[in-house]
Chain A
Amino acid sequence: MKRTFAMLSVLMVAAMILSACGQATPEATEPPDVEVTEAPETPEPFECDDDIGCVTYAPDEPIRIASALVITGPDSQLGLDSQYGVEIAIDFRGQVAGHDVELQAEDDGCSAEGGQAAGQKIVSDPTIIGVVGTSCSGAGVPMSRVISEAGYFMVSPSNTSPVLTDPDNAWNPGYLRTAHNDKVQGAAIADYAFNVLGLTTAAAIHDGDPYTEGLTNAFRESFQALGGTIVAYTAVNKGDTDMRPVLTDVAAAGPPGFLYYPVFTAECALLSKQALEVAGLEDTVRSAADGCISDAAALAIGDASAGMYWSGPDIAFAGQLYEDFRAAYLDKYGTETLSVFHAHAFDATNMIFDCIESVGVLEDDGTLHIGRDAMRACLYATTGFDGITGTLTCDAVGDCADPKISISEIQDGDYVKIWP
């Protein structure tokens, strides 16, 4: 008891000190929380007339941008790939508006909780101008709200869920993306199956992930719109290993000419292998999507990859810039590209840099002021931006991608584009 008491009194003193500190702070904790730079000699001190507020970087300070990508856990290759894209963009660019650029890398955890926590961490730092992220749409939904309410902006390199740019759903001002919308990929794979392969019946399997479910749904709608028939639309669970019952069920319902399962590596490999062993699916064409495009996936699928297709963003980009990019990637990280959204991240970062240069106000001594609302306006007004992934033009809800979907197959262990 006495000990508790002594502890409590220490706490009391600490509390008093801390609360004194608390009162000492200026109450301006709202978004325009800006470091006041003292520049007495300047004849006309800069006045911020931005609707949200300005970020000011002193002459020797780097511009700070954040990334919120999935860099740990089972999906980490997706996020690391994008983060490398951002880092290479920073390296290539050198200085922006006369300042260095510093990246604050956060982890979106590929979950709603992770996205929100990363978002709150970012908006608690007033020196960060904006975010490249998130990797996963599920993390993007809560994070875009946090980012938006705090007056920041985010450009996602790999969110593809349609809800994120749907103002009636989860879109918030300040959200943009350079990745394609799922609807585009669903339409492309349906087009390939129906028109190129000439198959009129299809089945689709998702694994309950928001991404795969959304994409499967988009495929179903597009395939039906083309005049095809969906004979089975079913699902497995993440962590399932015995897919034969599900596949037998699909076979019993059709069997379909085309089977689309845009799930992730583990379940994708199991489905690919076991579909060959189920009676009735011998003539069915199997197809997965970008969640299953990785070296580990190719190894895990092994020989079963013969006759299989993958849909995903077209990363057979032309041009010297992409050659340089891949060389730098290999040089810096000692590996070929890990996933498919590095170029989208590169373009997103450069879009941000272009806007910083066009809206930033540079004083004579090198102090840089950037209006947050001006940044948003500039990003949404991006037209004809020339990036690796194509010519990007943003619409009013931030869909900036120049979407190109390709179909690939595995030849000698490598994914090779075969269409279009």
Chain B
Amino acid sequence: MRSRLANIDFIGVFLWVIRAAIIVAVVWGTTATILNNTYTTRQWTDFLVFGVAQGSMYALIAIGYTLVYGVLFMINFAHGEFFMSGIFTATVFLALPMDNAGWLDRNPLLGLLIIAVVSMVISVVIAVVTERIAYRHLRTAPRLVPLITAIGASFFWQNLYRGLLGGEQKPFPQLEVLTGTIPMLGTEIQKVHIVVIIVTIIMLIGLNFFIIRTKTGKAIRSVAEDKEVAALMGIDVDRTITITFITGAAMAGIAGVLYAMVYRQVHFFMGFIPGIKAFTAAVLGGIGSIPGAAIGGLFLGMFESVGPSLFLKGLGIPAFNQLKDVIAFTMLVLVLIFRPQGILGEPLAEKKA
């Protein structure tokens, strides 16, 4: 009797109970929502578009996490600050003066291009400085040590920016070109969302080309595979790691511009929550995998947008939009219970875990 009891895998049973409970809740909520027929088709497509747009930003930021994790196996907590620094600087020193002078309205495309380039450059500079000062000497240190310096760097940049440029919300100019909607897919889609999605797709394709085809990209991949062997093959590991940071930060810089275009306000703290979300997305997709980061970001954005209305509304939960992060993180746990390596991740080798 006793031995049979001991044979039951309590943990397994418990996990199955969790999965079953969540699935029942999801199915129940979804069915109730759909049966109640609260939302029109237009609203459903809106939810999807909002989610894809938000997810695109997560994806671009998540790539930075995943690239750095791929080569250094460290959580670069300061990555959200790379995202913030570029666009915050560009907004205060470029976008607002250009807008006040009326120049931005006359040359919106050129203006946005300049803003984007400056945002990328600043993000990259911040990233390189951070890597040089806070991470480079810690390559061989225990894993918690670079995590702590990354947290420290994150606090440092946030508060430096607050002291430097002020703690209040800064408006990002509204551009005529990006205002209004375009009829598409049987609904009206905001122009700015279309821009976000197209830019993201271009950036992802470009990144893919860079990583797969170019020599530097190959160097990054080989350093990710094995630093020592890469060094033996004549690859400058330090330089490659710096390039990895540059690539990630440039993506974050672009994500910052998209963020500013969509939300039209920036703030020194704007990088923290998207940073955490993007990290979640990177893990969700399988950390270390670039397509994983993109898919993870999209998934997360969509779940945050559609999830509360689809799953929770039907359950009759009051103020269910409050719980969207609960959905996001629950989904993360659920995915990781089923697939501990994330959606597209390879099972972790011992040294990477």
Contacts and interface: CB of A to CB of B under 8 A. Distances in A.
In the complex, is A directly touching B at CB under 8 Å? yes
Interface of A: 73-74, 76, 208, 233-237, 239-242, 244-246, 248-249, 251-253, 265-266, 269-270, 273, 277-280, 294, 296-297, 299-300, 302-303
7 contacts: A73-B167, A74-B167, A233-B318, A234-B321, A241-B259, A248-B39, A278-B46
Contacts of B43: 248, 251-252, 279-280
Contact of B171 (A237, A242, A245, A302): A302
A199 to B, nearest CB: 22
Contacts, number: 100
Contacts of A296: 168-169
B188 interface: yes
B135 to A, nearest CB: 27
Contacts of A279: 42-43, 46, 188
A249 B169 contact: no
B305 A242 contact: yes
Contacts of B304: 242, 245
Contacts of B42: 279
A244 B319 contact: no
Given A208-B322, A242-B305, A245-B308, A266 B169 contact: yes
The list of the 4 closest CB pairs from A to B, nearest first, reads A296-B168, A235-B319, A300-B169, A235-B322
Contacts of A303: 174
A208 B171 CA distance: 24
A81 to B, nearest CB: 14
Interface stretch (B260-268, B331-339, B341-349): B260-268
Nearest to A237: B322
B155 interface: no
B50 A252 contact: no
B46 A269 contact: no
B218 interface: no
Contact of B321 (A73, A236, A266, A302): A236
Nearest to B40: A252
Nearest to B266: A300
A269 B322 contact: no
Contacts of B190: 277
B50 A269 contact: no
Contacts of A294: 168
A234 B308 CA distance: 12
Given A252-B40, A252-B43, A235 B50 contact: no
Contacts of B170: 299-300
A110 to B, nearest CB: 13
B105 interface: no
Contacts of A248: 39, 43, 46-47, 50, 309
A266 B265 contact: yes
A365 B113 CA distance: 75
Contact of A269 (B38, B259, B265, B273): B265
A93 B101 CA distance: 46
B171 A235 contact: no
B144 to A, nearest CB: 26
B168 A265 contact: yes
Contact of B54 (A242, A253, A277, A278): A242
B267 A245 contact: no
Contacts of B320: 234
Given A233-B319, A241-B263, A242-B50, A252 B38 contact: yes
A302 B264 contact: yes
A300 to B, nearest CB: 4
B38 A253 contact: yes
Nearest to A298: B171
A234 B319 contact: yes
Nearest to B169: A300
